[in-house]
Amino acid sequence: MKMLKLFSRAAVLGLLFAITLPVQADELQDANKLFKQGLHSQAMEKVNAFLAAKPKDAQARFLKGLILAEQGNTEDAITVFTGLTEDYPELPEPYNNLAVLYAGQGQYEKAKSSLEMAIRTHPSYATAHENLGDIYAKMASQAYDRALQLDKGNTNTKTKLALIRELFSRNTRTASKPVVTAQADSAPAAAPVAAAAPVATQAAAPKPDVAAVAADPAADALKATGDWAAAWSAKNTKQYLAFYAREFKAPGGSRSAWEAQRKARIAAPKSIHVEIRNAKATVTDDNHVSVTFIQYYRASHLISNSGKTLVWVKVDGQWLIAEERSGK
């Protein structure tokens, strides 16, 4: 079954550079041209030279990840894109590319998680929604395969599996390379979404119901709460802190002091696991939801359980924490 593909030579020379990558220096422009010509080693030399002077530049790092992926250095490409998600958690494209690379390795759970993060940063990112649909279809295919191994005579399962296989056999999925826009030595602005190659749909093909999800603020806030806990468990402080709204009132009054304290507390233990139980969402309106739950916290030095409430506010399509209260 053909799944998501990224960085194929045809896509690189056709779709991907229909939009020219913005550049900030001759080195990066030259690297871009060399990459379009398929001269990946020379392009990498230019990118590395640029990064030697500006190691945090998002565009150069993104281009490096693309070159590595085109060269078949998947693990190195994953490392580059992972670093971008940590430094610039507001950008959806690195998450999308991570998902495609994970899918190519058969790591569909990781691919699904990356796409969910891409959608959380930009709920209108159509490419990530479509890729997530493909991941669901692949995972469904695997489940149907297992079901048939246990019950070879199940005609319903055979029909469902055949429909999914037909969908992927007719359409080779080639996601285009997104473009990162950034100023040198500064955080990048939200990147424009590059279009993906179209995929024909069939009634039987599993597709995420984007409209239904968007119309349910309670479900959105509950999912955001789970993502918040996952970022905390992963000890990803940048993603964790990105969940807090600008108007969040930090304990003690100082936002900078509170963030420094949170970073120190997250970095201190070797491992952290945060589990959300008995979560209940109370909707005030479409843009305000309170989620009350029991927080089970386990770290290498501490285990604790406590009640907590997160007050979520929807800002520019994103659910962010406006208030955090401990206790029931």
- Across the range 99-122, mean pLDDT stands at 88
- Across the range 281-297, mean pLDDT stands at 93
Placement of tokens 């058969």 in the chain = 106
195 pLDDT exceeds 70?
no
224 pLDDT exceeds 60?
yes
pLDDT at residue number 185: 33
pLDDT at residue number 160: 59
Domains of the chain with CATH codes: 5-209 (1.25.40.10), 216-326 (3.10.450.50)
Q: Which of 55, 59, 54, 72 is nearest to 31 (CA)?
A: 59
pLDDT tens digit string along 135-173? Answer: 887 777 777 677 767 776 777 766 655 665 555 554 444
pLDDT class of 176 with cuts at 50, 70, 90: very low
Tell me the C-alpha distance between 309 and 291, whole Å: 6
pLDDT at residue number 227: 92
Token digits of residue 116: 């969910």
pLDDT tens digit string along 233-244? Answer: 999 999 999 999
pLDDT tens digit string along 60-107? Answer: 898 899 999 888 889 999 999 999 999 988 888 889 999 888 888 888
pLDDT at residue number 167: 53
Q: How far is CA 111 from CA 14, 57, 99, 224, 254, in A?
A: 25, 25, 4, 18, 37
Tell me the C-alpha distance between 284 and 176, whole Å: 39
pLDDT at residue number 166: 56
Q: What is the mean pLDDT of the chain?
A: 75
pLDDT at residue number 14: 29
Instruction: Give the lowest-confidence range in 196-205, 253-262, 272-281, 284-293.
Output: 196-205
194 pLDDT exceeds 60?
no
Tell me the C-alpha distance between 77 and 62, whole Å: 9
